[in-house]
Amino acid sequence: MDQGAWDEPITFETKKLGAYLTISSTAEAARVLLDHWPVEHGKALKRAKAACVAVLQGDENPETAREAFLKAAEEAGVFVRA
């Protein structure tokens, strides 16, 4: 299965204050959204999960999942490092 590699990784603060994680693929983003996300509900979260599935199935471009992940982070108040 294609991992949906991203051209530009995203570094974000995890639930543990001051701890950061960098992800560089749709597969990694999907794992974070499913297992380590600070909120369980939200429109952007739902869209991000769906985008990840679509990319991993080969139906979307990986950039779609990356952008959806960023919107879910904004919705959840997750700090993304520039």
Residue 13 DSSP one-character state: E
pLDDT of 82 > 70? The answer is: no
Q: How far apart are CA 69 and CA 75, in angstroms?
A: 10
Which amino acid is residue 56, in one-letter code?
L
Kindly report, residue by residue over 43-57, the tens digit of the pLDDT.
Answer: 999 999 999 999 999
What is the average per-residue pLDDT within 69-82?
Answer: 93
Which structural domain range is residue 12 located in? 5-81
Nearest Cα to Cα of residue 29 among 46, 43, 48, 47: 48
Q: What percent of the chain has pLDDT over 90?
A: 87
The token pair that represents 66 in the structure block = 């990356």
Count of the separate structural domains present in the chain: 1
pLDDT band at 1 (very low <50, low <70, confident <90, very high): low
Q: How far apart are CA 78 and CA 74, in angstroms?
A: 6
What is the average per-residue pLDDT within 3-19?
Answer: 91
